[in-house]
Structure formats: C-alpha cells, structure tokens
C-alpha cells in the first residue's frame, strides 16, 4: 500500500455536532495520522474554487453558502492508501461511515474529502496557503515566548524544577488550574475530569486551542515571556502544543532511575525498608505509565538527569534556560 496525503474539511455542521474526535479516532484505527491542521473561516471565493468542477450542479450555490457560513477545520492526513480510506471508509458514502450516521442532506454532510489522487493533489495545493497562514499567525502569536513543559515519573523532581524556575523569575503554572478556568467558563457545574473527557471526545482541537488561550492570557497577566507548566501527561495534547508553538514549547523530561527514586522516598518519608518505598511509589508509577508519561520521553526536547545533587540539577536548568533565551 502506498503512503498518500489527503484532506478533510470538517464543515460547520460537523463541528457543531462534535464529530472531530470521532473522525480522529477513526483515522487512528486506520493507521492514518494528521500531519497538519487549521481552523479558519473560508471566503466564498475560496469555496467556489474548491467546488469549481461542480459549478453546474444544482446544489453548487447552497454548498458554497454553507461551507463559507462559519468556521471549518482543515486536516491534512497521511498514511497508507489515505485517499480511499478517508473517502470511502471513514467519512464514507451513504449510508456508511460518519456521513451515513450524521448527515442531514447532501449539503450538511459533515465533511468534504477528495475522491481521487488527482483531486487530493489539487485540493491540497489549494489548501497550502491556509496552512501557511495558520503557521504565520502562530509564529506571530508565540514570538518572544517560551514554555517549559515539565514531565516525568513519580518523585522525579518536577516540583523542584518548577520551584527553581519560579525563583529565577519564570512563573510556575499548573496545567490543571488552566483547565479548571476553562471548565468554569464552559461548564461550571461539571467535574473537571468529566469536562475534559467530554470536550476531548467531541473536539480536542477546540479544547487545546482554548488551553493555549488561557496559557497566553496568564503569561500576559504575569508579564512573563517564559513560564513552566506542570504536570504534562501523555496523549495527543503535548504533540499538538508542540505543533502549534514549535520550538517555543519545550518538553522537559526529568529523568531519574527507579532505584534512586526509591532511596529518596525512604529518606523523605523516614521509611526503614525499600519495600515500604515501593508500596508508595510503584502504584503512582503505574498511573503515570497508563497516562502515557514514558512515551513523552521519546519526544522530549530536553532530558534532564536528576540522579545527582540539587546543585547539579540547578546547573542543568540554568544551562537550559540560557540556551533557550
């Protein structure tokens, strides 16, 4: 099977019905990945060009009006036989696929996708400026800013690093607090876990974009060009933030062998045996592993060794900050 690229444009009705998460999950099950994304409001002229080959169809005017009426989401998708998989299996033709389940008619039918290699090439070329414009907006938005995203296993020293950065004038922010602010605005009666789970299921891009908005707002309030955020968990959030912010978002994995973490746990808690330390630490590690922390080490921008002294750790952080200014 050949590796191909194709395009999905989630229409206003697809966004309103919260189907982005379902589309992303289906892409994953078909071994396809999103390599770029952009949310935008299209001009009527651009949509007319998209549907230029259907200009004589009776639905042309209506579909142009609908697709240009509100924001849409562009997804550039890559993988084996991506064009056919997206068109016929994921988005689907009636009555199969997501369209078969959720479409209202031929206009409000969830998403637009090309149906052949030639149309995919044409529409990706047409969309190139959309993605470039989003990248340029992001460059302007994040210019002069730096976010250190701290992660690692239990008792690795994230808090120590965050506090040290804070002492150097780099505010220490908690990821959960930013999500709580969003919850309070969107659904104040909801439990935080239920809120984030529901929003990620419907449209994770909207949730993560809002998170970025809260992060930037907090940096503005604190008049800070550099901040750290704790605690970064696994899953697609970190890659998305990296995609949006580029080198302005640095995943910092605090690394320390289990044996040393157990020894420090014994000292900190006044424990007498290693088994007592294991009883405390290993269940926490299991939760971290299930949440995807080890996978973040594979994509980390910086891996900081915390097996030495506090002074060694501070030196490594100082070197990192200097390098990133």
The C-alpha atoms of residue 182 and residue 207 are separated, in whole angstroms, by: 9
Q: In what order do the strands lie in the sheet with 72-80?
A: 33-40, 72-80, 3-10, 111-112
Among residues 30, 112, 243, 314, the one annotated as catalytic is 112
Instruction: Collapse the DSSP code of 77 into the 3-class scheme (helix H, G, I; strand E, B; otherwise coil) and give the result.
Output: strand
The C-alpha atoms of residue 251 and residue 147 are separated, in whole angstroms, by: 8
Strands (DSSP E) found in 144-275: 146-151, 172-174, 226-230, 249-255
Burial of 13 (0-12, 13-18, 19+ CB in 10 A): buried
| Nearest CA among 114, 109, 48, 46 for reference residue 77 | 114
Cβ(269)–Cβ(280) below 8 Å: yes
The C-alpha atoms of residue 34 and residue 131 are separated, in whole angstroms, by: 13
Q: Is 30 a catalytic residue?
A: no
Strands (DSSP E) found in the chain: 3-10, 33-40, 72-80, 111-112, 146-151, 172-174, 226-230, 249-255, 302-305
Tokens 């320390």 label which residue? 256
The C-alpha atoms of residue 11 and residue 113 are separated, in whole angstroms, by: 10
Integer-rounded Cα Rg, in Å, for the chain is 23
The C-alpha atoms of residue 160 and residue 176 are separated, in whole angstroms, by: 18
The C-alpha atoms of residue 253 and residue 148 are separated, in whole angstroms, by: 10
Q: Which residues form the catalytic set?
A: 112
């Amino acid at each position: 099977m050949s590796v191909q690229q194709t395009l999905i444009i989630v229409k206003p009705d697809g966004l309103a019905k919260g189907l982005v998460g379902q589309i992303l999950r289906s892409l994953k099950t078909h071994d396809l990945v999103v390599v770029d994304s952009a949310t935008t409001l299209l001009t009527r002229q651009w949509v007319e060009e998209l549907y230029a080959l259907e200009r004589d169809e009776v639905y042309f005017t209506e579909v142009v009006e609908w697709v240009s009426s509100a924001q849409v989401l562009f997804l550039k998708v890559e993988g084996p036989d991506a064009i056919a998989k997206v068109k016929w299996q994921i988005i689907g033709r009636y009555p199969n696929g997501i369209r078969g389940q959720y479409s209202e008619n031929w206009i409000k039918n969830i998403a637009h996708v090309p149906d052949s290699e030639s149309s995919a090439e044409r529409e990706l070329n047409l969309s190139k400026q959309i993605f470039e414009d989003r990248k340029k907006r992001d460059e302007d938005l994040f210019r002069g800013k730096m976010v250190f995203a701290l992660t690692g296993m239990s008792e690795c020293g994230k808090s120590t690093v965050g506090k040290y950065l804070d002492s150097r004038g780099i505010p220490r922010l908690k990821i959960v607090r930013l999500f709580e602010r969003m919850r309070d605005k969107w659904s104040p009666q909801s439990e935080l876990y239920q809120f984030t789970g529901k929003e990620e299921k419907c449209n994770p891009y909207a949730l993560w974009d809002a998170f970025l908005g809260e992060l930037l707002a907090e940096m503005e309030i604190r008049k800070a060009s550099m901040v750290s955020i704790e605690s970064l968990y696994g899953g697609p959030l970190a890659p998305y933030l990296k995609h949006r912010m580029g080198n302005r978002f640095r995943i910092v994995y605090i690394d320390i062998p289990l044996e040393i973490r157990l020894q420090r746990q014994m000292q900190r808690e006044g424990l007498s045996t290693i088994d007592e330390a294991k009883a405390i630490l290993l269940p926490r590690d299991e939760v971290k592993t299930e949440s995807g922390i080890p996978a973040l080490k594979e994509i980390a921008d910086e891996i900081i060794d915390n097996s030495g002294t506090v002074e060694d750790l501070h030196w490594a952080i100082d070197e990192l900050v200097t390098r990133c200014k």
